[in-house]
Structure 1
């Protein structure tokens, strides 16, 4: 159950990271509210997952899901760069996350 909570927390991190862009510096009320709700949910679920998962692994997985998801959606939604080096870097992040899970 802790791993499920951690994955959902990471997905909510993607939501709030993209919400920061959509809120335009918290100047748009609805995107700002949704961003804050996603932040609270993400942190709450991370805290719940950390009750039974190692802190370093849980935090790294949470950040990794958020970072990889945000970069990928930035590419899809905002036309962010899809250079080979950027894509290779994402693969390295994913490899690190898998390594942490396997070593845990």
Structure 2
């Protein structure tokens, strides 16, 4: 349960950092650049803590897949980026892939 919350926090931190990259204008704006640095650091710390009890493969797939979907959704909402049918299909495939890895990949150490 705690490890799952750590992964969730790592996903949120990574998505926040990724979305802040755009706001930083190439890391030339101080506040968004600081959010990028802190967000990625927090994401890796939380993920490392979760990996004490969870398996790397499925957890990394969950973290990167849901982070990708979160960044895409955030780009649409915050930056008015286009959402095309192919993008929606790709997002759905990522979610299905993450679900399969979670269900059949064995997330906890045996």
Q: Which moved more, 1:71-80 or 1:86-95?
A: 71-80
Q: Deviations over 1:16-68 (max 9, x none)?
A: 00011111111101111111111110000010111111111111111012100
TM normalised by structure 1 equals 0.95
- Counterparts of residues 7-22 of structure 1 (less than 5 Å): 7-22=8-23
Alignment match, 2:61? 60
> Secondary structure at 1:51's aligned position in 2?
coil
Partner Cα separation in structure 2 for residue 83 and residue 27 of structure 1: 30
Q: Is the 8 A contact 1:6 1:49 kept in 2?
A: yes
Q: How many residues align?
A: 104
Alignment match, 1:92? 93
Partner Cα separation in structure 2 for residue 97 and residue 91 of structure 1: 10
Partner Cα separation in structure 2 for residue 86 and residue 4 of structure 1: 28
Alignment RMSD, CA only? 0.9
Which structure 1 segments of 5+ residues have no match?
Answer: none
Alignment match, 2:33? 32
Alignment match, 1:47? 48
Q: Is the 8 A contact 1:11 1:65 kept in 2?
A: no
Partner Cα separation in structure 2 for residue 76 and residue 33 of structure 1: 22
TM normalised by structure 2 equals 0.90
Q: Is the 8 A contact 1:7 1:65 kept in 2?
A: no
